[in-house]
Structure 1
Amino acid sequence: MPEIELPIATDRLILRRFGVEDLERFHEYQSLPETARFLFRHELSKTKSMEVLGRYANFEFNHEGDWVCLAIERQDQPGLIGEVVLKWLEGTGQAELGWILHPDARGHGFATEAAEAVLRLAFEHLSFHRVDAKLDALNEGSAGICKRLGMRLEATLVDNWHYKGQWATENIYAILDSEWRTRHHPWTRKIS
């Protein structure tokens, strides 16, 4: 697997490795029940935030099961606003994409912009064949991001997840490398 070169810059954002300076802001949004609403875990304590941030800061991306979690920062305003993750799934050439933003950074297109940069990394640098996003069906905000990224709703698994004391329906959105390239590089389409 090629090495991931950081930071990654987009029009408005910088995606970088987490650092110790991110702890307060990271804990600020990770400790909120609204942040954990659609996650398989509850909000994080300060101690757990320190532990998780340490794992994020020291990621390795060499084998199936590895994941990279990048800090999202605005170019015009330093400071952590969220995170975007790419997990290398078991099986040939597949990955999973996810994101979390601080509440004051939501609604500005930052998650879409960061996720698009990670999809570009996944397909154009790391040569993945397929990337998916697994969402609670009630998570309409993330479903909108998936659609803006060109991901299609591939499956709906009714009452597939049981977390926080209740059953939830899982929606799986996905995009293939060929779909990504057609969408972002239409001049490279093969003519048969």
Structure 2
Amino acid sequence: MPDIELPIVTDRLILRRFEAEDLERFHGYQSLPETARFLFRSELTKTRAMEVLGRYANFEFKQEGDWVCLAIERKDQPGLMGEIVLKWLEGTGQGELGWILHPEARGQGIATEAAQAVMELAFGTLSFHRLDAKLDALNAGSAGICKRLGMRLEATLVDNWHYKGQWATENIYAILDTEWRARSGQATSGQTAAGGESPTSGI
């Protein structure tokens, strides 16, 4: 598995490791009920935010079950704007995407641009075969991001999740490396990866 070279730079964004200086803004949006609405867990306390940030800052991505969570920052506006996750699922070349944004970053295409960069990493560098995103069916914002990324609605599992005291329907969006390469105009390589906390994607 190739190493992940950071930072990843796009037209507007810098995707990088989390740093201790991110704590205040990280806790700022992770403590909001609206952030946790479509996550299995509740909003984070300051102590819990410190623990999670430490794990994010010290990730390893070497085997199935590992995941990377990158901080999203705008080039023209220093400061944490959210996070983008890639998890290496069990099974050859399978991965899962997830994202959470600071309220200030929503509605600007930031999650889509960050996810496009991570798809490039997954398919182009890590040679994954398939990526998916698992959403609560009520999460219309993230569903829109999946569609803009070229992901198709692959399955709807009615009342598949039970969290926060109620049943929820799970929508699974997915894209294959061949579909991604066709959209991005790249030749198909035919390669697969050696081996994939984002129960739902949030915005």
Tell me, yes or no, whether TM beats 0.5: yes
5+ unaligned residues in a row in structure 2: which ranges?
190-203
5+ unaligned residues in a row in structure 1: which ranges?
none
Separation in 1, partners of 2:178, 2:161: 30
Deviations 1:15-63 (A, max 9, x none): 0000000000000000000000000000000000000000000000000
Q: Over aligned residue pairs, what C-alpha RMSD do you find? A: 1.0
Q: Write the mapping of 1:87-166 to structure 2, written as runs, cut at 5 A.
A: 87-166=87-166
Name the residue aligned to 2:10. 10
Name the residue aligned to 1:44. 44
One-letter code of the match for 2:86? L
One-letter code of the match for 1:103? P
Separation in 2, partners of 1:6, 1:157: 36
Name the residue aligned to 1:185. 185
Deviations 1:97-121 (A, max 9, x none): 0000001110000000000000010
Name the residue aligned to 1:176. 176
One-letter code of the match for 2:74? R
TM-score (norm 2): 0.92
One-letter code of the match for 1:113? E
TM-score (norm 1): 0.97
Name the residue aligned to 2:71. 71
Between the two proteins, the alignment pairs up a number of residues equal to 189
How far does residue 189 in structure 1 lie from its aligned partner after superposition?
A: 6.3
One-letter code of the match for 1:111? A
Sequence identity (%): 83
Separation in 1, partners of 2:43, 2:71: 18
Separation in 2, partners of 1:31, 1:172: 26
Which structure has more relative contact order (CA 8 Å, sep 6+)? It is 2
For residue 108 of structure 1, give the secondary structure of its aligned residue in structure 2.
coil
One-letter code of the match for 2:63? H
